[in-house]
Amino acid sequence: MKTIQLGHSGLQCPAIGLGTWAMGGWMWGGSDDAAAIDAICASLDAGIRLIDTAPAYGLGHAERLLGKALKGRRHQAIVATKCGLVWHTREGTHFFDEAGVPVYRHLARASIFHEVEQSLMRLQTDYIDLYITHWQDATTPVTETMGALLDLRAQGKIRAIGVSNVSPETLQEYLEYGPVDAIQERYSLIDREIESTLLPICTEHQIAVLGYSSLAMGLLAGPMDPARQFSGDDQRAGNPRFSAGNRAKLGAFFQEVEPLRERLGCTFAQLMIAWTVARGAVSVALCGARTPQQALQNAGAATVALTDADQALVDGAAQRHLGQLFTPCSL
């Protein structure tokens, strides 16, 4: 796989990574723990190194699963986890309730030091490779947050610093107090806002860009039956992006790119991941998986090489069939 460096950290990883939000179960209609652990192991076997998780993914559940999966294999993985969405305190700003538990945006120094210890325990490790502020906290000065992260790095508990769901202005403020190695933002064929907002800053400061939701929560994985229903707390049930009408329009898009998919001998999901990597806007395309089969399919996208003409074909089909169909959503 194509390899990139995470900012100034010296950490090297392939351009495709594994995301574990769905493994936590919350907002995804539950989870299968055994399948999730197998998916992590399959990813490592296939050459995936960067595995992204967060305490908020099932109130620590995804981190615990990752810790179990990495027993005896910790050295093979670059572990990214996060801080700033908390339930041990009601300081900060209330963000949402998860399984009846109120979760707050909070990035104060004491809270970050508490969180990192909890994550280290759940992950069964003594260091975190990339520590990311999950959502920004308007009640805590950035200088306090960055100071805590720099101290954790000096202590060896984290190796690199990242921020997520950040505005250009807040990213610039972080950079006033120290180096940022990576940002993590939503990016896919139908989510390209960061190309004009955050990417110029990242290029200037040599910040790696981790793109989450590379398959747009499954929309770009291939044609989806307009009649499919999402159960339980699955967030897609109420998401207008997943309306029957939108799925039909996506069907027309997939139909147009079918000859390209067939010529390349790949799945639609692999084609979309390969497009993301070839586009060059993100350093690492994070792809969710809940089964070994999904994990291996994602990793297989590394073997799909798109020419400039192939990329133009995908872009043209997207413009014709998707247009302004999808509105930005904050998830």
Q: Which residue has the higher pLDDT, 123 or 31?
A: 123
> pLDDT tens, 98-157?
999 999 999 999 999 999 999 999 999 999 999 999 999 999 999 999 999 999 999 999
184, 201 contact by CB (below 8 A) = no
Q: Is residue 328 part of a domain?
A: no
Q: Is residue 179 part of a domain?
A: yes
**Amino acid 309: pLDDT:** 98
Q: How many domains does the chain have?
A: 1
Residue 281 and residue 241: Cα distance in Å, rounded? 23
Q: Which residue has the higher pLDDT, 37 or 30?
A: 37
> pLDDT-derived band of residue 324, with 50, 70 and 90 as boundaries?
low
Q: Is residue 85 part of a domain?
A: yes
Q: Is residue 310 part of a domain?
A: no
7, 206 contact by CB (below 8 A) = yes
> pLDDT tens, 206-237?
999 999 999 998 899 999 877 787 777 777 87
Angle at 264 between CA 17 and CA 292, to 5 degrees: 35
174: annotated active-site residue:
no
What residues have CB less than 8 Å from 310, skipping those under 6 apart?
260, 264, 278
Question: 232-238 long-range CB contacts below 8 Å, 24 or more apart?
Answer: 232/29, 232/30, 233/26, 233/27, 233/28, 233/29, 234/27, 234/28, 234/29, 235/27, 235/28, 235/331
Residue 284 and residue 268: Cα distance in Å, rounded? 19
Taken in order 74, 75, 76, 79, the sign of the CA dihedral is: positive
Q: Find residue 183's DSSP bridge partners.
A: 163, 209
End-to-end alpha carbon distance in the chain:
29
Q: In terms of Cα–Cα distance, which of 183, 173, 165, 158 is closest to 281? A: 183
List the CATH number of the domain containing 190. 3.20.20.100
> pLDDT tens, 55-96?
999 999 999 999 999 999 999 999 999 999 999 999 999 999
Which pair of structure tokens corresponds to residue 96? 């949402």
236-256 CB burial, b ≥16 within 10 A, e <16:
beeeebbeeebbeebeebbee
> Which domain range does residue 119 map to?
3-218+275-303
What residues have CB less than 8 Å from 227, skipping those under 6 apart?
244
Q: In terms of Cα–Cα distance, which of 161, 215, 210, 207 is closest to 188? A: 215
Residue 315 and residue 267: Cα distance in Å, rounded? 17
Using the predicted structure, report yes or no on whether residue 326 has a pLDDT greater than 60: no
Q: Is residue 267 part of a domain?
A: no
**Amino acid 280: pLDDT:** 94
Out of 57, 174, 187, 212, the active site residue is 57
Q: Is residue 315 part of a domain?
A: no
